[in-house]
Structure 1
């Protein structure tokens, strides 16, 4: 190609290269557009408004190279700075009248070989004595893999054994210790036979002493938290 047309193409390519080198993505504006896109219902990635010179020259081969370069520069900025979503678990509400309430749930992160059963115990007043017992039915190869509680470990004695067709977890508040008002968790973890395990036979109970007297709560487990 020779003559005026070739000179015009060379000038266009030079202009594109100069503009591409000078372009810097506005990160704050990009992130703001992404957040607005999420707020209206996750309609997909935010569309970036391209400069006018790119839209005008969109039919030329040189523009394709500019768009590729621009895309590779913008994408990491969005990916690195947008915070990851985190799930939040809301504690269950009261199920029994009085100062003591409870609920039981199979942890939603349980899988085909392993599970966790969690007892949540709530009290509106300090407790001077407390025993929590979790009974996991022996549905096949149920074996304890551990346990935990949200209260201090040193405040409790703990035992786990198997009896009467159950793996039994038992937490007992030590003499002289106190459970403050609040919601507290007691969890037993275990292996089981492969496949979905039926927790319909599992049970728990908690016996406590409060200023108003002794209280007992008991219940079963809901699947998946």
Structure 2
């Protein structure tokens, strides 16, 4: 059944208003006419319907017409209601905004997003701190700086990045009480849109190291201009 036919049937059903008063009046007139005839009649012809049966039949007919009209309206409304329920889209799932356990809260600027975390495979003598940079568009410039506070026994054991090694100039040196890892995109190179990781590795004094004084910064240039993001690391518990 197409939409136009369904709408026409529904409109006709809603417009139908049985004339109940007129029907009942016809029944009453029939009863009045029947009374005088019954008074002068002593015998009933075989096979002829009894008068009270005609009255009951007429009453049933009126109720039938009224019921049919109600059924038509109810069916049309129910059909439309079912169509609306079928057409409704499923409710979207509620998003989760909870940060990952052991990570600092992310920071964003324009197309740039970042996060800092300590690798869960770090141990009582060695650790790896990671900076995650996500960009929604290509970058023509990018410098990532990771600063590890020089608490007991901290010294570098290396670094890496998920982007091509030949695209970056990398360094690690002690500056102002920090072990500073720095990765700078070389001129003429481009960082593609996506998620990228920069990691610094280091030894430290035995025991659980508190990374609460460590921090990082990422500076970039995209088509819309410069962007800067940064943050710190979740302290040890």
Q: TM-score range by the shorter chain?
A: 0.5 to 0.7
TM-score by length of 2: 0.54
Q: Choose the corresponding residue for 1:151, options 163, 170, 176.
A: 163
Structure 1, unpaired ranges of 5+:
1-90
**Structure 1 outlier segments of 4+, above 6 Å:** none
Query: Using the alignment, how far apart are the partners of 1:201 and 1:126 within structure 2?
Result: 31
What is the deviation of 1:195? 0.4
The change in CA–CA distance for 1:92 and 1:168 in structure 2 (over 3 A counts) is closer
Match of 2:222 among 190, 210, 214: 210
Residue 109 (structure 1) aligned with residue 121 (structure 2): yes
| TM-score normalised by the chain length of structure 1 | 0.57
2 CA distance for matches of 1:97 and 1:131?
Answer: 15
Q: CA deviation digits over 1:23-65, x for unaligned, max 9?
A: xxxxxxxxxxxxxxxxxxxxxxxxxxxxxxxxxxxxxxxxxxx
Whole-Å separation in 1 of the counterparts to 2:209 and 2:111: 33
Matches within 5 A, 1:97-176: 97-176=109-188
Contact 1:137–1:166 under 8 Å retained in 2 = yes
1:74-93 equivalences under 5 Å are none
Alignment check: 8 A CA contact 2:104 2:234 kept: no
Question: Any idea what SS the aligned residue of 1:154 has?
Answer: helix
In structure 2, how many angstroms separate the alpha carbons of the residues matched to 1:139 and 1:203? 14
Alpha-carbon displacement from aligned partner over 1:125-155 (angstroms, at most 9, x marks no partner): 0000000000000011100000000000000
Q: CA deviation at 1:95?
A: 3.6
Alignment partners' CA distance in 1, 2:186 and 2:209 = 34
Instruction: Tell me how large the CA RMSD over aligned residues is.
Output: 2.1
- The answer to whether the 8 A contact 1:105-1:223 is kept is no
C-alpha deviation, 1:94, in angstroms = 5.8
- Contact 1:127–1:178 (Cα < 8 Å) also in 2: yes
1:183 aligns with 2:198: no
Bigger Cα Rg: 2
Pairs aligned (count): 135
Partner SS state of residue 96, structure 1: strand
